[in-house]
Amino acid sequence: MMTNRLAGKVGLITGAGSGIGRAAALLFAAEGARLILGDKNPSVHDTVAQVLDAGGAAIGMQMDAGAEADVAAMVATALRCHGQLDIAFANAGISGGMAGIFDLTPEAWTEILRVNLIGPWLMVKHAGKVMADAGRGGAIVCTASVAGLRSGAGGPAYSASKAGVINLVMVAAQQLSETNVRVNALCPGLTETGMTQPVFDLARQRNVTDKIGRLNPLRRAAQPEELARVALFLASDEASYVNGQAIAVDGGLSSSHPVTRQSMGKTAV
């Protein structure tokens, strides 16, 4: 049941061509937001079509979330088309694979940091400035990862970039003091998205899908809609006193250091 939690608000979402970004676009629009959706992939226009078919309002842009001109253009489009900006969801990211710390090149590190860390900073810089100047407040949500909380959930460059996002939202929340612009990070665990699709496809081919996500207490992976619902909370006025936080949505994975578990009287690893 939708409750129009974002009625009257205008929002931006990057990485909206698939996965968490697409799920968030559909949910935010259903809750009343008018959206500008961005993605490097032309599939962003498919997301726009789905939003429109469901009765929502969205404009699509093919863009690079790590390029300042493209992020600024998204913000300008929101102002030109709707005259305001209330929500920014900096969700776009790339994995860079699982190459070891001795194997990645400086060029690979640079690209991962450009998209995953500089991209969210650009959104804070441009969207946050507009929100602060307007005096209406606002919400910025940046997709980090449990890989940014501790090691073991991603490659070295990816993990470092997401740790940077977590610190970025803390710094940004402080520097936006007295503007009523909130900045928070969403930290997904293993979620079925375009980035992780090969893992899920291989598991299905081998008939071992029951092993995906088994390291967390819920013993499963997440679906994009589960992350989108938390992003919706952070973007809405329901989270009016949540600021500078990194919210783990990982089935409980990050609640423990690696240990041998005791479950129902039996040892479970």
Residue 50 belongs to a domain with what CATH number? Answer: 3.40.50.720
Ramachandran region of residue 180, left (φ > 0), alpha (ψ -120 to 50) or beta? Answer: left
Looking at the domain assignment, is residue 164 inside a domain?
yes
Asked if 8 contacts 85 with a C-beta cutoff of 8 angstroms, the reply is no
Range of the domain at 34: 10-191+224-248
- What is the chain's mean pLDDT, rounded? 91
Looking at the domain assignment, is residue 200 inside a domain?
no
Bridge partners for 12 per DSSP: 36, 88
User: How many domains are there within the chain?
Assistant: 1
Looking at the domain assignment, is residue 219 inside a domain?
no
Q: Mean pLDDT lowest for which of 54-58, 217-221, 246-250, 255-259?
A: 255-259
Looking at the domain assignment, is residue 209 inside a domain?
no
pTM value is 0.91
pLDDT digits (tens, 9 = 90+) for 58-71: 999 999 999 999 99
Cα separation, 104 vs 68, in Å, equals 25
Cα separation, 99 vs 84, in Å, equals 42
Q: Mean pLDDT lowest for which of 7-21, 75-89, 179-193, 238-252?
A: 179-193
Looking at the domain assignment, is residue 74 inside a domain?
yes
Between the alpha carbon of residue 264 and those of residues 110, 234, 252, 268, the distances in Å are: 47, 36, 18, 9
pLDDT computed for residue 54 by the predictor: 98
pLDDT computed for residue 152 by the predictor: 83
Looking at the domain assignment, is residue 128 inside a domain?
yes
Show which residues are catalytic.
158
Strands 246-249 and 261-263: unpaired
Looking at the domain assignment, is residue 198 inside a domain?
no
Nearest to 254 by CA among 121, 171, 99, 144: 144
Q: 151 is written with which tokens?
A: 């090691």
Looking at the domain assignment, is residue 269 inside a domain?
no
Helix orientation angle between 119-134 and 156-175, rounded to the nearest 10 degrees: 10
pLDDT computed for residue 269 by the predictor: 45
